[in-house]
């Protein structure tokens, strides 16, 4: 596979992509013990599965993003690009497709969460026009994937 000047096809996730997608997420350090990636995929496939996007180069999964919208805000999760393909516009391209889907659905604003230590990703989104909101991100786990 060749990163520079590479054409990437974007399509909806298909079940046969699962092992490649999870390997990509692991390679990009997105997997945490409290988020079982198999279960996260299963959950996404129950809600707008066509908005779980994968990017392919030469038939290989090189990028992903999960897109969500509940009528108030859009969300981007699991944005990942194979490390050797990073900085070649593929993340920008798959985010643009996610934004297009959300805009078409009438979404007024996109939210996302980034670990504060992930400065490179924060800067990436800034270059795409995203800004830091003055909010506190809070969560409450309803399903405990650890040890299951």
Residue 59 covered by a domain: yes
Q: Is residue 138 part of a domain?
A: no
Q: What are phi and psi of 129, to 5 degrees?
A: 100, 5
Residue 148 lies in a domain: no
pLDDT tens column, 59-117: 999 999 999 999 999 999 999 999 999 999 999 999 999 999 999 999 999 999 998 88
- The total domain count for the chain is 1
Report the CATH number that the domain containing residue 102 is assigned in CATH.
3.40.630.30
Say whether pTM exceeds 0.85.
yes
Distance CA 7, CA 9 (A): 7
Burial class (CB within 10 angstroms; exposed 0-12, middle 13-18, buried 19+) of 86: middle
* pLDDT at position 33 over 90: no
Name every residue whose Cβ is closer than 8 Å to that of residue 26 and which is 6 or more positions away in sequence: 37
pLDDT bracket for residue 1 (50, 70, 90):
low
What distance separates the 2 farthest-apart alpha carbons in the chain?
A: 43
**Does residue 142 lie within any of the structural domains?**
no
Residue 5 has pLDDT above 90, yes or no: no
* Span 117-134, pLDDT tens digits: 889 999 999 999 999 999
Angle, helices 18-27 vs 37-44, to 10°: value is 130
Backbone angles phi, psi at 19, to 5 degrees: -65, -40
* Cα-Cα-Cα-Cα dihedral sign, residues 49, 104, 136, 128: positive
Q: Would 94 be classed as within a structural domain?
A: yes
Domain residue limits at 108: 9-127
């Amino acid at each position: 596979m060749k990163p520079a000047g590479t054409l990437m096809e974007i399509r909806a996730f298909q079940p046969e992509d699962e092992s490649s997608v999870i390997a990509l997420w692991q390679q990009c350090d997105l997997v945490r013990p409290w988020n079982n990636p198999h279960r996260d995929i299963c959950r996404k496939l129950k809600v707008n599965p066509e908005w779980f996007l994968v990017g392919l180069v030469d038939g290989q999964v090189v990028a992903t993003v999960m897109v969500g919208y509940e009528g108030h805000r859009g969300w981007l999760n699991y944005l990942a690009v194979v490390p050797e393909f990073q900085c070649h516009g593929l993340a920008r391209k798959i985010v643009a497709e996610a934004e297009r889907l959300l805009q078409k659905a009438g979404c007024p604003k996109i939210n996302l969460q980034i670990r504060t230590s992930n400065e490179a990703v924060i800067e990436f989104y800034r270059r795409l026009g995203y800004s830091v909101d003055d909010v506190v991100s809070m969560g409450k786990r309803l399903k405990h994937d650890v040890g299951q």
